[in-house]
Structure 1
Amino acid sequence: MAELFGVDRTSIVRHIRNIYKSEELDESSTCAKSAQVRMEGQRQIVREIPLYNLDVIISVGYRVNSKNATSFRRWATSVLKQYIIKGYAINQQIKLDRYKELKDVVRLMSRAIGLQEEVSNEEYGGLFNVISDYVYALDTLDHYDYQSLAIQKTTSDASFHATYDNAMEAINALNPNRSLDFNSC
């Protein structure tokens, strides 16, 4: 945190102590102790290193007086303002990535429509199944990104269940001149 906010380590330690002293945050839920073990000469030294969560970093960022901390506060305030005004904040990079992915799907569908007369109905249906699965995967990732992931559809019957026997059958089908059996190894 000292490096992040561009201040001395003692300043960070003082702010953290004051955060816990004023009961702004609860130490037991925002700090974990991690044991660091190393050899110094012939002695084994064990030190407990505190690891702080995001709540502590934000609280310290609002207390520290430095250019880095000021930049942090401006950024954090703008994100909070977006939440207050819009009810949510948008990650612009994710938004651009999703837009590019949507354009790719539209291009793929456009090409598929152009190929409609050149491919069989089965191939055409398969292509649209792939596109549909892709869109479903994008939706699932989007729900994960916004912490709203829920199981939306499942299948009760598996169309294929991999076993040793059918895997060996598939491997042997690839090379009909040679039969493999790993059980005999």
Structure 2
Amino acid sequence: MTAQPKSIVIYEISKNKAISVPLEHESVWLSLDQMTELLNRDKSVVSRHIKNIFAEKELVRKSVVANYATTAPDGKTYKVDYFNLDVIISVGYRVKSLRGTQFRIWATKTLRDYILKGYAINKNRLIDTGIDELGRAVALIKQTLDSKVLTTVESRGILRVITDYAHSWVMMHKYDEGEIKISGKTKPKYALTYDEAIGFVHELSTTLHAQDAATKFVGMERDDHGLDRIIGSINQTYGGKDVYKTVEEKASHLLYFVIKDHPLIDGNKRSGSLLFIHYLAMNGLLFRQTGERTINDNTIVALALLISQSHPKDKEIMIHLITNLLG
């Protein structure tokens, strides 16, 4: 993209030093020079890390780089590459920068406020169009944001859920208006069995115990055969046809049921996330044609948190949220 950013926010690096940060497309953006100043690292070091991020396919360049018109000290205007929060955070982790951590905390709060306030301002317009599903999703997300102190991974993931879901809502609205065509959903080519599922759960439990990262109850089934019933419900048919017809529907219900129904004594979120990823991978839906993950690890962590915090009456909106993110 090449343009002037719609909004600018000021971030104070120190008492006597500040940078102007573009805020657009639900992210904050920094140039290479600004990132160098923020992280207090040599420009060549930051540049090398950015190149490695793209070379290792951690991020896709066209999704995280914008080209903005910038006025230089000589008074001339130049086109300059700006990198979004995903890149800034990734570089910050690689150089182990305290300033990078501080910026991440500030940016997360700034984006959260920007997105939620922006929704509030446009609430009446959304209702007038007869669409309130986005509002219900944002309300659920806001409830979770307000209910606990979030870790870095949870914060990044929830912000991604908000922005990706908002994008999918816009796409569906354009579809309703006849402005865009949406491809059909994915037909399953693989069915998960109980034996496979419990095998993966036990494998996860063994790995976590070896790392001393889990209680002894992780992966242990309750006595009511809950996991077996969940797998059965995902694969159930009626009149010879699948009740859940698409990979997106089946995967969404699998993740929701394992986390919400607690078939295991402990480790339901981790086990549900593992089975969710495996099911998507086996049905060819884990990666997009570009090579980018359909849904990344941070987003899965955030979804698991949102499901666990949600009320049972909100089951359908959670399922819609997950399926839209996979679409």
> Normalization by structure 2: what TM-score?
0.21
Q: Which has the higher contact order (CA 8 A, sep 6+)?
A: 2
TM-score, scaled relative to structure 1: 0.35
